[in-house]
A and B are shown apart, each in its own frame.
Chain A
Amino acid sequence: MEWDSNSESDMSGGEEEEEEEEEEGLGLGFLLRKSGGGQLPFPVEALLQPAPCGFVVTDALEPDNPIIYVNSVFEMVTGYRAEEVLGRNCRFLQCRGPFAKRRHPLVSPTIVAEIRKCLDEGIEFQGELLNFRKDGSPLMNKLRMTPIYGDDETITHVIGIQVFTEATLDLGPLPGSSTKVSTRAADRFRFNVSPGITSDGTRNVSRSGLCGIMQLSDEVIALKILSRLTPRDIASVGSVCHHFYELTKNDDLWRMVCQNAWGSETTRVLETVPGAKRLGWGRLARELTTLEAAAWRKVIVRGAVEPSRCNFSVCAVGNRVVLFGGEGVNMQPMNDTFVLDLNSTNPEWQHVKVTSPPPGRWGHTLSCVNGSHLVLFGGCGRQGLLNDVFVLDLDAKQPNWREISSLAPPLPRSWHSSCTLDGTKLIVSGGCADSGVLLSDTFLLDLSMEKPIWREIPVAWTPPSRLGHTLSVYGGRKILMFGGLAKSGPLRFRSSDVFTMDLSEDEPCWRCVTGSGMPGAGNPGGVAPPPRLDHVAVSLPGGRILVFGGSVAGLHSASQLYILDPTEEKPTWRILNVPGRPPRFAWGHSTCVVGGTRAIVLGGQTGEEWMLSEIHELSLTSSVI
């Protein structure tokens, strides 16, 4: 095809640029996404309108006219992505929402019959029809359908051009729609669709949202460009001009920014916190970047965890804190499960009745996977060290612990560390094995599989073996190991070393994190936390790690907060000063992070008695009650 600048099309507007390209053998079809590939052998220019219209091509030679191409305006306005609609007939737009099977009663059957008639007779159709977006909201579709004839006078394709406008109809909520938030921010990030051509016939490709000389629509600027910037950038871009200010006020844009900057797992967790939604993503992004609203507070709860115990494990699922096991007053391993719902107005410890609990233990790990599941691993039981895996679905009607048996589990151990990758994979490392030997291995268990299998992560070099260290996930698929009681020759010392591993690499390996410290120093520079074990490490959105608590050598305070950004060029420890009264003690095994924004410290005032009715909470964001 030739790109000819002297056309006789009915395209209005005088600003045609010169195109003097000659591209042999390339048609518009080459540039259009098409399921079959190849050229579209028909003229299209008469059909291109100078307005943001939906553009659909169907294959008339296949039964029921399946869609073979939709343009991005179609995608953006209807909310359906190309992958979802290719191969289907367009009539799904007459159904309200993606699950409806029948045409909505308000869609005019007369018009539909007319479309049918035109298609049968092979003539053009023009008319207006009620359609629906994927989220069920109504659209008026000014539709023009044109059959395209092939060489032998049979219709090979049908082209549909849609000019969408909002339909003022109150249809009520979509039947069966839940309050679950759409994961596609673009579905919600809708702009008012402008009518096609203005009254004086001039082009109206973009709306009044023009920016300088660029004919970029708001959709492209916001959804495609701004959403890829960091929270800091968006905040500063807001002061470029009034128009950008308006764009950056949109909370859905902020949500996309947070998701792109922090990952979808982090944003998913943040969404489970009701207060976070009320704050809005803009404020959340700011507070989690600057930590300006971080504060310690005390929370009093009711109920009791009885019999009393120490060395239990806690983990949060959404806003619920789950506690399992521990060591009783007679050193006997416990096997009961308790839950504390921080969502309720008067949170109260409640015993969870399960049919068959796992064997009692202490020094085990509890981690959250697959949304609402808890996975229990290892620990020291009545008959020695354990390496079994149990999973509990907290959202089940009758929550029960279920054992996951797998070949080649890691050595039985206690005081190891664990973390969850991608929300589905349990990672376990180090700990103390039989006869007190310290371990340095790293194992992975993929709990999204039907039959999970333990897999050791093979590495050429490991950091010195240790127990009581922490593993934190940052930057998607990287883990950071900090502290612990580490082996050093025949001795053991508290450590403040930092090691990282990138699990997205083909051959992951442990790396020392060096900073602006002394030459040859293996540690990040800055004010490093005193060496410790059984401390708390909180992963902050954006990749930073917050460390406090634990068993600290000497007279150092355990409640001082330290923060490290391993993604910096020269990672440096910094001290974070936070208002409010911190707990005197904070142990890793009895602290958990709720909704990515609150660290709940149990038993922090004394180090001995377990007063689980008084909780210290480090809140990273403002609380909006």
Chain B
Amino acid sequence: MGKERRTNVIPLPEVDGVTLERIIGFLKIYTEESFQQFTVQEKKKRCDEFFANCKFNDFLTLASASNYMGAQVVLDEACQRTADMMKNKSVAWVRKNFGIKNNFTPEEEEAMREKHEWAYEGVDPDDDEEDII
């Protein structure tokens, strides 16, 4: 260490190429002076454009990678979009898209539904054809 000269190589085993490209791309936009001058609505529009073809899984990967790298603005953006996509979705939808296995017994699940009946009203219907992942 110290006085030794090394090649400037930084392996990031947690981050794949596509995600890294997205992180860098977003940071480039974010640090542009013109971006900082935008109104809140304009900023949102620009970010929407950038993330237009990202799916739910992409946002989760983005959150994980930017968390690891400490890229705070990307992390916030990815998490906000993840939350936005999750709003008012069914329990089954959340399981499917997070890749989570249901480890409740049917009795436990029934008990929880009864206890939190208020939470299940007016939930968006699952669209089985929609390919979120």
Partner of B17, one of A18, A26, A234, A239: A18
Which residues of chain A have C-beta atoms less than 8 A from B76's C-beta?
224
Using Cβ atoms and an 8 Å threshold, which residues of chain A touch B17?
3, 17-21
- Residue pair B64, A55 in contact (C-beta under 8 Å): no
A21-B21, A46-B1, A216-B60 known; A239+B11 contact, CB < 8 A:
no
B10 within 8 A of A: yes
* Contact in complex: B60, A124 (CB < 8 Å): no
Cβ 8 A contact of B75, one of A30, A72, A242: A72
A612 smallest CB distance to B (angstroms)? 37
Q: Give 1 or 0 for each of A41-67: 1 = CB within 8 Å of chain B CB.
A: 101111010100001000000000000
CB distance from A79 to the nearest CB of B (A): 16
B91 touches A236 (CB 8 A): yes
Q: Is B14 part of the binding interface, using a Cβ–Cβ cutoff of 8 Å?
A: yes
Stretch at the interface among A206-214, A430-438, A455-463: A206-214
**B-facing residues in A273-317 (Cβ within 8 Å):** 286, 289-290, 292
Residue pair A11, B11 in contact (C-beta under 8 Å): yes
Q: Could you say which of A3, A82, A122, A237 contacts B12, with CB atoms under 8 Å apart?
A: A3
A211→B100 contact, CB < 8 A: yes
CB-CB < 8 A to A213: which residues of B? Answer: 99
Of A72, A212, A232, which one neighbours B67 at CB under 8 angstroms?
A72
Would you call A17 and B70 a contact (CB within 8 A)? no
Chain B neighbourhood of A238, CB < 8 A: 112, 116
**A216, B63: Cβ atoms under 8 Å?**
yes
Report the minimal beta-carbon distance from B126 to chain A, rounded to whole angstroms. Answer: 13
Question: By the criterion CB–CB under 8 Å, are B101 and A241 in contact?
Answer: yes
A48, B68: Cα distance in complex, Å = 11
Cα A124 to Cα B4 in complex, Å, equals 13
Q: Shortest Cβ distance from B33 into chain A, in angstroms?
A: 12
Complex alpha-carbon distance, A3 and B19, angstroms: 13
> Contacts A19-B11, A44-B10; is A212 near B101 (CB within 8 Å)?
yes
| Contact stretch, chosen from A145-153, A373-381, A534-542, A592-600 | A145-153
CB within 8 Å of B: which of A600-621? Answer: none
Contact A124/B8 with A19-B15, A71-B70 known, Cβ cut-off 8 Å? no
CA distance A73 to B68 in the complex (A): 9
With A149-B3, A225-B82, A225-B83 as given contacts, are A3 and B14 in contact (CB-CB < 8 Å)?
Answer: no
Residue B102 is within 8 A (CB to CB) of chain A in the complex? yes
Q: Tally of A-B residue pairs with Cβ under 8 A?
A: 188
Chain A residues contacting B119 (CB-CB under 8 Å) are 231-236
CB of A30 within 8 A of CB of B11, answer no
Q: How far is the CB of B76 from chain A (nearest CB, A)?
A: 7
Least Cβ distance of B70 to chain A in Å?
Answer: 4
Kindly provide the distance from the CB of A125 to the nearest chain B CB, expressed in whole angstroms: 12
Chain B interface residue count: which class?
35 or more
Q: Does A205 contact B (CB under 8 A)?
A: yes
Tell me the minimal C-beta distance from A471 to chain B in angstroms: 25
Known: A233-B88, A235-B118, A238-B112. A220 touches B75 (CB 8 A): yes
Q: A7-B9, A11-B11, A32-B70 are in contact. Are A236 and B123 (CB under 8 A)?
A: yes
Is the C-beta of B48 less than 8 angstroms from some C-beta in chain A? no
Residues in chain B near residue A27, CB distance under 8 A: 8
Q: Are A235 and B11 in contact (CB under 8 A)?
A: no
Contact A205:B63 (CB < 8 A) given known A26-B24, A228-B79, A236-B91: no
Is A217 in contact with B67, judged by CB distance below 8 angstroms?
Answer: yes
A364 CB, nearest partner CB in chain B, Å: 37
Contact assessment for B13 and A11 in the assembled complex, using a CB-CB cutoff below 8 Å: yes
Q: Which residues of B contact A13 (CB under 8 A)?
A: 13
Give the distance in Å from the alpha carbon of A46 to the alpha carbon of B87 in the complex.
41
* Bound Cα distance A62, B10 (Å): 26
Task: Give complex CA distance A18, B21 in Å.
Answer: 13
**Once the chains are docked, how many angstroms separate the CA of A239 from the CA of B105?**
11
A516 at the B interface (CB under 8 A): no
Given A18-B16, A21-B20, also A2-B8 (CB < 8 A)? yes
Nearest Cβ in chain A — how far from B59, in angstroms?
Answer: 9
Query: Which of these, B8, B72, B98, contacts A43 with CB under 8 Å?
Result: B8
Please name all residues of chain A whose beta carbon is closer than 8 Å to the beta carbon of B104 when the two chains form the complex: 239, 241-242
Determine whether A16 belongs to the interface, using a CB cutoff of 8 Å to chain B.
yes
Q: Which residues of A contact B6 (CB under 8 A)?
A: 43, 46
Give the chain A neighbours of B71 by CB distance below 8 A. Answer: 31
What are 30 inter-chain pairs, A to B, with CB distance below 8 A?
A: A1-B9, A3-B20, A4-B7, A7-B9, A9-B9, A17-B15, A18-B16, A20-B17, A21-B20, A27-B8, A28-B10, A31-B69, A32-B70, A44-B10, A46-B6, A71-B70, A72-B72, A122-B2, A124-B1, A211-B98, A214-B64, A220-B79, A225-B63, A229-B87, A233-B86, A233-B88, A234-B119, A237-B94, A239-B113, A292-B118
Listed from nearest, the 10 A-B pairs whose CB atoms lie closest are: A212-B99, A235-B119, A228-B83, A224-B79, A71-B70, A43-B6, A236-B119, A16-B13, A7-B11, A239-B112
Known: A55-B70, A214-B98, A216-B67. 12 other contacts (CB 8 A): A3-B10, A73-B70, A82-B72, A147-B2, A216-B64, A217-B67, A229-B83, A236-B123, A238-B116, A245-B112, A289-B118, A290-B118
